[in-house]
């Protein structure tokens, strides 16, 4: 039985908030607290206000001119908000006396460094993604070629500042070892988890569809790397062949971000935007027939895929972002990165009810076996104690 620890989770993002990074941090905090640890989350002034009693949240002072909630870098975030977060981490650490800090994303890692220098506490870096696969999707005031070069340099340099790196997917770990020569002993894989019980025994709402209608669904934000443009292009081709289909976008993102993509879109009448909270998501996914992941690539493990799998529905995804999915077993994967190829995969699935059922059943079974947060908390506890032993902190 391991001794309970005092753990500081550093969330350089709105918290809690219904998208991948904040959700991973929230569920990790819950699971570690349930495992007996004293857990504190140090985060921005932004986020939903509901916090369970299991862990404590420490926010930076309100910054009235910073309201950014969507993913991606900004000058204000890097120059103002993150330095304030670093000061908050140090202040809370001096008061609480953490055994170690677990920092999420590069901004969280940088915010942990002053406390590490002052207290010599070990820092675990949680690598949700690699900048080389994501940074160039954002609108930045530098050429994309330079952006990719900067991203690769940061991916090579920043993880070395941590005592240990926890990777969301094997792809991230493999890249850090093979491309950036990080020691294998300093890296681990800890996939996202899902609350499977929230998705079980949820029958679809009969009022959610018209007779004979087929609902294709996407759940997530509208950030550029999600490639909603590719999804809409593919749906136009699908609707031309299968006019009984409807595309529903479940999101808490700003609808205005979608309007430029829908301007002049030929199948706009068959696209429905459905504001959906994280708590309502399992019920919404139960209404769908096929769940879609149009992201072309990415080293991280999209949380939406775990939610899709837990919903027990068939999934169509591009292979480049389909971490954890197996073609023809837990999903239908598309290798060619075009709207035409994606549309053909969806149409193939519409025409094959038996394949639809088996993919959904297999996906849910896989999640139940491999993606449970209670197991992740045990693995993290073992990692923490091993790291503390190596550093002579136990």
Angle subtended by helix axes 373-390 and 20-34, to nearest 10: 80
262 & 119 share domain: no
pTM for the model stands at: 0.76
206 & 147 share domain: no
Type and span of the H or E element at 177: helix 170-178
Decide: helix, strand or coil at residue 125. Answer: strand
102 & 213 share domain: no
1 lies in a domain?
no
Rg of the chain in Å (alpha carbons): 21
Domain of residue 303: give its range: 196-370
253 & 135 share domain: no
The residue among 329, 344, 341, 331 whose CA lies nearest residue 296 is 341
64 & 155 share domain: yes
26 lies in a domain?
yes
CA distance readout (Å), 119 to 35, 82, 92, 94, 161? 25, 19, 12, 8, 15
> Digits of tens for pLDDT over the chain (394 positions)?
578 999 999 999 999 987 888 989 999 999 999 999 999 999 999 988 777 789 999 999 999 999 988 887 888 999 999 999 999 999 999 999 999 999 999 999 999 999 999 999 999 999 988 888 887 777 777 777 788 888 899 999 999 999 999 999 888 999 999 999 999 999 999 988 887 888 876 666 666 677 889 999 999 888 888 999 999 999 999 999 999 999 999 998 888 888 888 877 777 788 998 888 877 888 899 999 999 999 998 766 778 898 999 999 999 999 988 887 899 999 999 999 999 999 999 999 999 999 999 999 999 999 888 888 888 999 999 999 999 999 887 6
CB 246 within 8 A of CB 270: yes
Strands 6-11 and 38-43: parallel
291 & 349 share domain: yes
Give start and end residues of each alpha helix (H) in 242-370: 259-262, 281-285, 303-310, 339-350, 353-370
């Amino acid at each position: 039985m391991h001794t309970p620890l005092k753990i500081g989770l550093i969330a350089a993002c709105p918290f809690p908030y219904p998208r991948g990074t904040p959700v991973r941090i929230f569920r990790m905090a819950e699971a570690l607290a349930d495992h007996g640890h004293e857990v504190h989350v140090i985060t921005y002034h932004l986020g939903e206000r509901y916090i369970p009693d299991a862990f404590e949240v420490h926010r930076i002072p309100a910054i009235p001119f910073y309201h950014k909630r969507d993913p991606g870098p900004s000058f204000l975030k890097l120059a103002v908000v993150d330095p304030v977060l670093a000061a908050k981490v140090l202040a809370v650490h001096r008061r609480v006396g953490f055994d170690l800090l677990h920092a999420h994303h590069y901004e969280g890692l940088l915010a942990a460094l002053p406390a590490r220098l002052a207290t010599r506490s070990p820092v675990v870096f949680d690598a949700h993604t690699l900048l080389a696969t994501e940074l160039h999707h954002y609108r930045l005031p530098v050429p994309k070629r330079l952006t990719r070069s900067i991203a690769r340099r940061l991916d090579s340099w920043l993880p070395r500042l941590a005592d240990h790196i926890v990777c969301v997917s094997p792809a991230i770990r493999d890249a850090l070892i093979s491309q950036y020569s990080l020691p294998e002993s300093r890296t681990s894989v800890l996939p996202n988890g899902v609350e499977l019980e929230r998705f079980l025994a949820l029958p679809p709402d009969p009022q959610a569809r018209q007779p004979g209608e087929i609902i294709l669904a996407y759940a997530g934000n509208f950030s550029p790397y999600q490639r909603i443009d590719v999804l809409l292009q593919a749906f136009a081709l699908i609707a031309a062949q299968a006019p009984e289909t409807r595309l529903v976008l479940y999101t808490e993102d700003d609808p205005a971000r979608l309007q430029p993509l829908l301007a002049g879109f030929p199948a706009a009448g068959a696209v429905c935007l459905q504001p959906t909270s994280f708590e309502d998501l399992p019920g919404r996914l139960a209404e769908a027939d096929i769940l879609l992941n149009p992201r072309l690539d990415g080293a991280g493990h999209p949380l939406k895929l775990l939610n899709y799998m837990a919903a027990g529905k068939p999934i169509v995804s591009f292979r480049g972002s389909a971490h954890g999915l197996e073609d023809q077993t837990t999903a239908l994967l598309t290798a060619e990165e075009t709207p035409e190829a994606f549309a053909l995969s969806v149409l193939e699935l519409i025409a094959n009810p038996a394949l639809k059922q088996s993919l959904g059943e297999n996906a849910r079974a896989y999640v139940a076996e491999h993606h449970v947060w209670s197991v992740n908390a045990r693995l993290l506890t073992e990692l923490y104690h091993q790291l503390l032993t190596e550093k002579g902190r136990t």
